[in-house]
Amino acid sequence: MLDSALTHLRSPVDNQTSLDLEVYEKEGSHIVEGLLTDRVNDVWFPIVRGVPVFLMGELKPDFSAFLDKHKLSQRLGVETKAIKTEEQKEQSKTNKTFSDKWTRFQEYGLSPTHQEFLYDWYCKKFAVDSVEKLRALFASKSRILECGPGSGFNSRFMAENTDGEVYALDVSDAAFTTYGNTNHLSNCYAIQADLFDGPFENNSFDLIVADGVLHHTPDTKKAVFRLYEKLAPGGNFFFYIYRQMGAARKFCDAHIRDAFMHLEPEDCYKACESLTDLGKALADLGAKITLDKPVEVLGIPAGTHDVQRLFYYNFVKCFWNDAFDYETNNMVNFDWYHPHNAWQHTEEEVVGWMEELAVSKFQFNDSNPNGISCFLTK
Ligand SMILES: C[S@@+](CC[C@H](N)C(=O)[O-])C[C@H]1O[C@@H](n2cnc3c(N)ncnc32)[C@H](O)[C@@H]1O
């Protein structure tokens, strides 16, 4: 953590109180071990391995070794006031998936082949027609929050393209992977926190990005509303969430999730290989078919379909893309079937949320059939 982060970090208890900093160990300009204290609400947050950890209640890890090491046990003791919520319990189940995934796939999104694929997709998600325009959008922002950065590849890209600051907040151990991939940048801050308890003042960011994140929280709508509070008037908020799928895909997904989501991550990766092999075999065919009529009962539109995509979008997640190696393709399938929370939504639902929030300016960008890309202005 860089000292400069303190200017904008606030206690997640009230989103207002500034934090006192104690530094125990530094590496270059980064504080790798330290303590942040909210003296008003009497709570403390450690900085470990370079990352300030704002997890609370049920999500807060056991820091007794940290307290012993820095002779803090007597002074700080056990937190008795911490409220443990049902939502935090839910979130901690989902964290198991993502702490594992982002510890294994630390390089995701960093190689040129990954970036070509991912930034082509980002252009569609943000409805711009070139990566240059994406860079220009980020350059025009001075305080960016990315929620759920995973490996941190996009936080890194945004920080490289703005003179402002990027806060990269993730609730799982992905925060440490993000830190590893961004700590060479003086304007990027990796933080471990639940987005429902983000350590920031309200109305404080001019861009918030949550790509493939909010449907993994206990409540997607509440997550949208919570982040909207953090957005400054006039600011933009982009989120990408899963779209409600057709009947056959929903049936298969429910069946497979029942079988896979309780497995240990290692076993689930193994179990996903058969789906990944199916995706590859279908992609290798390079076959297309044309449907003159839509299969309305399954939500399949008329037209020409790549056979692998037809399976993937309508029957079972059997992702395959040549831009990724076998393990990364398999991880994309794991990412769908293992997380405890993985909600799907309709555009009508999202329109309802926008109405409740009184957002007058928002659009859905056409990025792919199984997701909803929403870009709004507060
Ligand atoms: C599917 S990954 C997406 C990562 C990245 N945005 C990408 O597109 O590659 C979802 C990420 O959201 C994070 N996440 C889930 N719930 C969260 C919450 N309540 N607060 C912050 N991050 C959360 C997970 O830990 C995980 O790193």
Place of tokens 């980064």: 30
Contact assessment for residue 227 and residue 164, using Cβ atoms and an 8 Å cutoff: no
Atom of ligand 1 nearest to the CA of 223: 19
Our separate counts of H helices and E strands in the chain read 13, 13
Q: What is the pLDDT of residue 78?
A: 62
User: Using CA atoms, how far apart are residues 179 and 157, in angstroms rounded to an integer?
Assistant: 13
What pLDDT does residue 264 have? 96
Please tell me the distance between residue 221's alpha carbon and the centre of ligand 1 in angstroms: 15
**Residue 167 CA to ligand 1 centre (angstroms):** 14
Residue 77: pLDDT above 70?
no
Average pLDDT taken over every residue of the chain: 95
Q: Which atom of ligand 1 lies closest to the CA of 335?
A: 1
Q: How far is the CA of 122 from the centre of ligand 1 (A)?
A: 16
Domains of the chain listed by start with CATH number: 3-85 (no CATH), 103-244+345-377 (3.40.50.150), 247-337 (no CATH)
Mutate to test the pocket of ligand 1, among 216, 239, 332 (most ligand atoms within 8 A of CB): 216
Residue 174 Cα: closest atom of ligand 1:
27
pLDDT digits (tens, 9 = 90+) for 177-224: 999 999 999 999 999 999 999 999 999 999 999 999 999 999 999 999
Ligand 1 pocket residues where CB is under 6 Å: 91, 94, 98, 102, 147-150, 169-172, 174, 194-195, 211-213, 216-217, 335
Task: Kindly give the pairing relationship between strand 43-48 and strand 51-52.
Answer: antiparallel
Cβ atoms of 260 and 337 within 8 Å: the answer is: yes
CA–centroid distance, 278 to ligand 1, in Å, is 27
**Nearest residue by C-alpha to atom 1 in ligand 1:** 212
Q: How far apart are CA 90 and CA 311, in angstroms?
A: 31
> 6 by DSSP, 3-state: which?
helix
- The pLDDT-based confidence of 360 (bands split at 50, 70, 90) is confident
The phi-psi region of residue 79 (left if phi > 0; otherwise alpha if psi is between -120 and 50; otherwise beta) is beta
178 within 8 A of 192, measured Cβ to Cβ: no
Higher pLDDT, 364 or 42: 364
* Residue whose CB lies within 8 A of the most ligand 1 atoms, among 213, 224, 332, for a mutation test: 213
Beta bridge partners of 188: 166
Q: Which atom of ligand 1 is nearest to 210's Cα? A: 6
Rounded Cα distance, 301 and 292, in Å: 9
Percent helix, strand, coil in the chain, to 5, is: 45, 25, 35
pLDDT 10s digits, 324-339: 999 999 999 999 999 9
213 CA from centroid of ligand 1 (Å): 4
Contacts of residue 192, Cβ cutoff 8 Å, sequence gap at least 6:
51, 52, 53, 54, 55, 169, 170, 171, 172, 173, 175, 176
CB 145 within 8 A of CB 202: no
The predicted pLDDT at position 79 comes to: 64
Q: Which tens digit of pLDDT belongs to each residue from 110-162?
A: 999 999 999 999 999 999 999 999 999 999 999 999 999 999 999 999 999 99
Token pair listed for 229: 């509070």
As a whole number of angstroms, the distance between CA 312 and CA 359 comes to 33
295 DSSP assignment: B
Q: To test ligand 1's pocket by mutation, which of 87, 95, 98 has the most ligand atoms within 8 angstroms of CB?
A: 98
Please report which helix (H) or strand (E) contains residue 355, including its range. helix 347-357
Cβ distance 135 to 122 under 8 Å? no
The predicted structure's pLDDT at residue 146: 98
Interval between CA 194 and ligand 1 midpoint (Å): 10
The pLDDT value recorded for residue 82 is 67
Which atom of ligand 1 is nearest to 194's Cα? Answer: 20
For the stretch 229-246, pLDDT in tens is 999 999 999 999 999 999
- Token pair for 75: 């002074």
For a mutational test of ligand 1's pocket, the pick from 170, 242, 324, 373, i.e. the residue with the most ligand atoms closer than 8 A to its C-beta, is: 170
What residue ranges in the chain does DSSP mark as E strands? 20-27, 30-38, 43-48, 51-52, 143-147, 165-170, 188-192, 205-211, 231-242, 288-291, 303-306, 361-365, 371-377
Q: Measure 80 CA to ligand 1 centroid, in angstroms.
A: 29
Tokens (6 digits) for 64: 């007794």
Going from the Cα of 56 to the center of ligand 1, the distance in angstroms, rounded, reads 17
Closest ligand 1 atom, CA of 108?
9
**Ligand 1 atom nearest residue 169's Cα:** 21
Q: How far is the CA of 297 from the centre of ligand 1 (A)?
A: 33
3-state DSSP assignment of residue 316: coil
Cα–Cα distance, 345 to 364 (Å, whole number):
13
What the block records as the tokens of 242 is 């899963």
- Per-residue pLDDT reduced to its tens digit, 240-284: 999 999 999 999 999 999 999 999 999 999 999 999 999 999 999
Give the angle 310-311-314 at the CA atoms, nearest 5°. Answer: 80
Q: What is the pTM of this model?
A: 0.95
Neighbours of 20 (CB within 10 A): 12
pLDDT of residue 289: 97
For 28, phi then psi, to 5°, come to: 60, -130
